Amino acid sequence: MSDTDLAPAPGIDLTADVRTQYEVTIEAIAEAAETYALLKADTPDGYCKVQLAIRDCVAMRTGTDKTRKRLKAPAIIYGREVEAVANELKAAVEAIEGPLKEKKAAVDEVKAREKEAREEAKRVEAAAVAAAELAEEAARLKAIRDAQKVEADRLAAERAAFEETQRVERQRLATIAAENDAKLDKEREIMEAERAAYQAEQERKAAAAKVISDAEAAERKAVADAAAEKLAKERAQLQAEKKAADEKAAAAAAERARVDAEKAEAERVAAMAPDLEKLASFGRQVDELVSHAPAVTTPEAQKMLGDAVADMGAIAGFLVGDA
């Protein structure tokens, strides 16, 4: 697209609201969305309406895109002019800056070579010092290793002498131990014989003591059995006496309870005598009332009166009988 194609159309106001530059509005799109949402393509007429709606949407979309390109044209042209001027200015400045950088780079290269030479001299010097220190350390370590070897040889000789002394001492101790074991075995045999004799004597004494103990135990058992039999008889007699006393006490308690119950019943009857007389009098009045029952003629009334007379007679008999 050329700058001529991007030239803004006459009458465009770059200071106006961008929305007003578009022919389609958001309100129109919302209205179309509301209308087209109701369309269906399941009938020939509906299918045609859906096609027309699609064409309308395409027209709104493509028209909006064309307007966008037309409105952006001035900004694109201005941007290109800005880039061109900037490139021209930068080229002029770089024409001055380039030679200056070359001069500075030549001096920097000389300084870098001089710095590298100084650092190389320092590395050579440090390597020489390190080599000397390494040789000195190697000599010191060799002297230490030599001294350690002399000391190790001395310790080995001392260890060999010590082990020989230990071997001789172990042999001497083994001989002594063998002699002691033989002596101990002889003493152990003597002690075993003495222990067997002592045990036999103790068993003989224990057997004699057991004969005496068994006789004494039999005598003690006979005495204990006689005492136990006597105690059992006395306990049985005491239990029999206690049982007779308990039965006598229970009989006396039952008699007291019977007398108390009869006394309480007599007192209760005496206390109820006035009320019983009143109830008997009331019963006689009820019986008198039954004898004055009215004469009725209907069956229902006769049944009701008969039931009432029977109930009242039973009540009168109950009150008079209890009294």
* Domain total of the chain: 2
- The C-alpha atoms of residue 306 and residue 34 are separated, in whole angstroms, by 95
Lowest mean pLDDT among 106-110, 164-168, 210-214: 210-214
Q: Which two tokens stand for residue 171?
A: 């042999």
Residue 168 included in any domain: no
Amino acid letter for position 157: A
Average pLDDT value for the chain: 86
Last residue of a domain, one of 81, 112, 143: 112
Q: Which residue has the higher pLDDT, 316 or 108?
A: 108
pTM assigned to the model: 0.29
Tens of pLDDT, residue by residue over 264-275, are 888 888 888 888
Identity (one letter) of the amino acid at 85?
A: V
Q: How far apart are CA 21 and CA 72, in angstroms?
A: 11
Cα separation, 194 vs 192, whole angstroms: 5
Residue with the two structure tokens 């003493």: 187
pLDDT of residue 4: 47
CA distance 318 to 323: 9
d(CA 79, CA 84): 9
Higher-confidence position of 245 and 217: 245
pLDDT tens-digit readout, 10-61: 555 555 678 888 989 999 999 999 999 999 999 999 999 999 999 999 999 9
Q: What is the pLDDT of residue 323?
A: 56
Confidence band, pLDDT 50/70/90 cuts, at residue 222 = confident
pLDDT over threshold 80, residue 294: yes
In a domain, 35, yes or no: yes
* Of 46, 79, 112, the domain-final residue: 112
Find where tokens 């010092």 sit.
129
Cα–Cα distance measured from residue 135 to residue 142, given in angstroms and rounded to the nearest whole number = 11
Instruction: Report if residue 84 sits inside a domain.
Output: yes
Whether 152 maps to a domain, the answer reads no
Structural tokens at position 101: 């950088």
- Assigned domain for 61 exists: yes
In a domain, 266, yes or no: no
Which residue segment(s) compose the domain that 297 sits in?
272-322
Q: Is residue 293 part of a domain?
A: yes
Q: What is the mean pLDDT of residues 272-284?
A: 86
- What the block records as the tokens of 90 is 């930068």
The mean pLDDT value for 292-307 works out to 89
128-151, pLDDT tens digit by residue?
Answer: 888 888 888 888 888 898 888 888
Domain final position from 112, 140, 164: 112
The verdict on residue 120 lying in a domain is no
Average pLDDT over residues 298-319: 88
Nearest Cα neighbor of 315 from 9, 307, 272 is 307
Q: What is the 3-state secondary structure (H, E, C) of the chain?
A: CCCCCCCCCCCCCCCCCHHHHCCCCHHHHHHHHHHHCCCCCCCHHHHHHHHHHHHHHHHHHHHHHHHHHHHHHHHHHHHHHHHHHHHHHHHHHHHHHHHHHHHHHHHHHHHHHHHHHHHHHHHHHHHHHHHHHHHHHHHHHHHHHHHHHHHHHHHHHHHHHHHHHHHHHHHHHHHHHHHHHHHHHHHHHHHHHHHHHHHHHHHHHHHHHHHHHHHHHHHHHHHHHHHHHHHHHHHHHHHHHHHHHHHHHHHHHHHHHHHHHHHHHHHHHHHHHHHHHHHHHHHHHHHHHHHCCCCCCCHHHHHHHHHHHHHHHHHHHHHHHHC
